A and B are shown apart, each in its own frame.
Chain A
Amino acid sequence: MILFEEVSKIYADNQVALNKVDFHLKQGEMAFLTGHSGSGKSTLLKLVSLMERPTTGRIVLNGNDISHIKGNDIPYLRRHIGMIFQDHRLLMNRTVLENVGLPLLIEGYSRYEIKRRSLSALEKVGLSGKENSFPIHLSGGEQQRVGIARAIINQPPLLLADEPTGNLDPKLSLEILSLFESLNEFGMSVLIATHDLGLIAKMRYRTLTLREGEMINDGLLRERNEY
């Protein structure tokens, strides 16, 4: 699903965010991406979602080399990636239903179809009945689930989450993670960036560890604080 070959990212100010990173996330696989703050987790996800371009190296997304993709093609590629952010990135002046339906609106679905599928996506994340609320009136956990509903509404084959539990208490965090687990069970590939090792430890998944832009570990974390 995602293949990185010697991928480096150096920002404009000569900040090396990723240094020759190699890894392969197989289709249908779920993995964690961890490391200290500033180790390059967000940068890695941004390279996949084409918010940043690699300085060197090759990135293949489901068989397509995206290292040199044209700017005009980026929107269409993003439609096949569900993205979840720590700060949710919801539109505060739109209802939950409108937020969730955004990816379908963009693709030109009918109003009826958008509503039907948005309601069904909200049901999947356990937010039935909140469709007409505005995000500002929801709790952090609820807002995050609106973000997840939006990310999965057009059933992307890949889900990227950047610190999805960053602002949530441990119980809510686990709930969100089990949501990812069940999405993964239905075949979605999932890559979750988090620095919450306690959370990772509770679940037995492959974990990619970054330190100062280098991939220092790939596999199950055996102990806490391994990085």
Chain B
Amino acid sequence: MSINMEGNKKLSGSPRINKVSLIGRIKSSLGQHTRQLTASFTELWKTPFATVMTILVLGIALSLPTVFHVLYKNVERVSGQWDSASEISLFLKKDISEERVQVLINKLSLYKDIETVTYISRHQALEEFKEMSGFSKALNYLDENPLPAVLVVIPVKSAMNTAGSKLLVAKLEREQDIDLVRVDIDWIEKLQAIFYLVVDIVIGIAALLLLSVLLIVSNTIRLNILNQRSEIEVLKLVGATNSFIQLPYIYIGAWYGFLGGLIAWLFTFILVLWLQSGVMSLTGVYQVQFEIISLNFQESATLLGVGALLGFIASFISVKQYLVKIEPK
């Protein structure tokens, strides 16, 4: 066997730590990163079944918070529309004359934040009540009409939010001839309180799901590391640094997260389409225009980014926990 050593000079060199120029190091590390990024992607598909299963689980875990987000966004938007006093009922004092009522109506019509005022006289109110309740006969025995006259006020659009209508209500309450001001807003506030409670619960669940993403990825990476223990030992023996050995594992973790995010995006997209068709038939009934808004570009990018970041963090934890501690024997 002939031995033909090149560069014999190196043989007499002392084993000192190689100092490579900064630019050289950056260039070689950039090259290494892109190489590892693609290599780790190919590595994933060497065990396609396990990979697909992992990614699906991650996708489901990530899609629940995503769907919650989409629902929240839409409910928020819708409740913004509902969050208004569409109607304010003014119950007038019983003993005021028709003239004073007319004066009041004229006065209210001049308010900038009132769109229309409709007058329901005591007589009309009774007739309506008789019709609705079916107690017409019994009511005939009453000496006196027990119902007050009512002015139904519809505020202008700009006064239809909570703050605006509160202002209007305060103004109306100061009117002498008005006995009671009733706004149909209380139930909306109650609904909103419930909604925010649900949101809090959902945020808790979403946090748990994101935590489970961390656990799934870090466990998968942990198993990878333990399976490849002897390979890692060999790499360390021939002088590989921890950062060199850990790179593929960290990239694989980030890929898991990213692909999980992609699956979650797809799930969400399909779900929104499905909900949209349901909403269409509903809005048909109620004759309102309503469209579910899905994830926009920024939100989609965030989803993928969060997925990749979670995968990165999870694999980083596993690498620090297990890979770094492996020593060749």
Residue with the greatest number of chain A CB neighbours at <10 A, chosen from B7, B29, B235:
B235
Q: Are A76 and B11 CB-contacts (below 8 A) given A51-B327, A89-B234?
A: no
Is the CB of A38 closer than 8 A to any CB of chain B?
no
A175 CA to B2 CA in the complex, in Å? 12
B328 at the interface (CB under 8 A from A): yes
Once the chains bind, are B238 and A103 in contact (CB under 8 Å)? yes
How far, in angstroms, from A157 to B11 measured CA to CA in the complex?
4
A150 within 8 A of B: yes
Stretch at the interface among A185-193, A199-207, A217-225: A185-193
Contact B239 A103 (CB under 8 A): yes
* B242 proximity list for chain A (CB < 8 A): 75
A46 CB, nearest partner CB in chain B, Å: 8
Q: Is A73's CB within 8 Å of the partner chain B?
A: yes
A145-202 CB contacts (< 8 Å) to partner B:
150, 155-158, 175, 178-179, 182-183, 185-188
**Is the CB–CB distance between B236 and A179 below 8 Å?**
no
Q: Report the interface size class on chain B.
A: 35 or more
* Given A76-B239, A78-B238, A108-B32, A124-B3 contact (CB < 8 Å): yes
Cross-chain contact A51 with B4 (CB below 8 angstroms): no
Interface segment, A17-25, A58-66, A136-144, A208-216? A58-66
Q: Are A51 and B329 in contact (CB under 8 A)?
A: yes
Contact A155 B10 (CB under 8 A): yes
- A159 CB → nearest B CB, Å: 10
Q: Which residue of A lies closest to B31 (CB)?
A: A108
**CB <8 Å contact, A91 and B231:** yes
Interface hits, A97-134 → B, CB 8 Å: 102-103, 106-108, 120, 124-126
- A73 nearest in chain B by CB position: B17
- Does more than half of chain B's interface fall in helix, strand or loop, or is it mixed? loop
Asked if B15 contacts A81 (CB within 8 A), the reply is yes
Residues of A within 8 A of B234 (CB): 89-91, 102
A27 at interface (Cβ–Cβ under 8 A)? Answer: yes
Bound CA span A182–B327, Å: 32
Within B1-27, which residues are at the interface with A (CB < 8 Å)? 1-8, 10-18
CB-CB under 8 A from B197, the residues of chain A are none
Assembled-state Cα–Cα distance A201/B319 (Å): 48
Task: Write out, one digit per residue, whether chain A residues 66-84 have a CB within 8 A of any chain B CB (1) or not (0).
Answer: 0000001101111111010
B237 is an interface residue with CB less than 8 A from chain A: yes
Cβ 8 A contact of A155, one of B11, B17, B327, B328: B11
- Closest A residue to B242 by CB, please name it: A75
Neighbouring B residues of A186 by C-beta, 8 Å: 3, 5, 8, 11
- CB <8 Å contact, A76 and B18: yes
Distance in Å: Cβ of B24 to nearest Cβ of chain A? 9
B244 within 8 Å of A (CB atoms)? yes
Is A77 within 8 A of B1, CB to CB? no
Find out whether the CB atom of A75 lies under 8 angstroms from the CB atom of B14. Answer: no
User: Contact between B15 and A158 (Cβ–Cβ < 8 Å)?
Assistant: yes
Does B277 count as interface, using CB distance less than 8 angstroms? no
Inter-chain contacts of A93 with B (CB < 8 A): 231
User: Which residues from B are CB-within-8-Å of A185?
Assistant: 3
- A150 — which chain B residues lie within 8 A by C-beta? 238
Closest CB-CB distance, B243 to chain A, in whole Å? 9
Q: Is B133 an interface residue (CB 8 A)?
A: no
A78 to B236, CA, bound (A): 9
Asked if B4 contacts A124 (CB within 8 A), the reply is: yes
Binding site for A on B (CB under 8 A): 1-8, 10-18, 28-29, 31-32, 230-231, 233-242, 244, 327-329
